[in-house]
């Protein structure tokens, strides 16, 4: 699965995201400008909710994988 992320505004540390969906292989991406687009490659091993957040967990998001 490929998830596309774009920057919708400059929000400091919120433009750098960590994806702990695979604890042994943490993924991170940084969106530097509004034109920036990053792709997260992700192979879910189970259905459920997967969180992502900035380094301080101030900014958080969630995506759901349905089985």
Q: Which residues bind Cu ion (CB under 5 A)?
A: 13, 54, 56, 58
Which C-beta is closer to Cu ion: that of 29 or that of 54? Answer: 54
Rounded CA-CA distance 63/8 in Å is 18
Which C-beta is closer to Cu ion: that of 3 or that of 54? Answer: 54
Sheet holding 16-19, edge to edge: 27-30, 16-19, 48-53, 60-65
Which C-beta is closer to Cu ion: that of 4 or that of 56? Answer: 56
CB of 58 to Cu ion, least distance (A): 4
The total number of residues shown for the chain amounts to 67
């Amino acid at each position: 699965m490929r998830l596309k992320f774009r920057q919708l505004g400059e929000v400091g540390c919120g433009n750098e995201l960590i994806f702990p969906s695979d604890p042994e292989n943490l993924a991170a991406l940084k969106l530097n400008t509004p034109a920036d687009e990053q792709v997260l490659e992700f192979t879910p091993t189970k259905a459920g909710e997967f969180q992502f957040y900035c380094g301080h967990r101030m900014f958080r998001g969630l995506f759901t994988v349905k089985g």
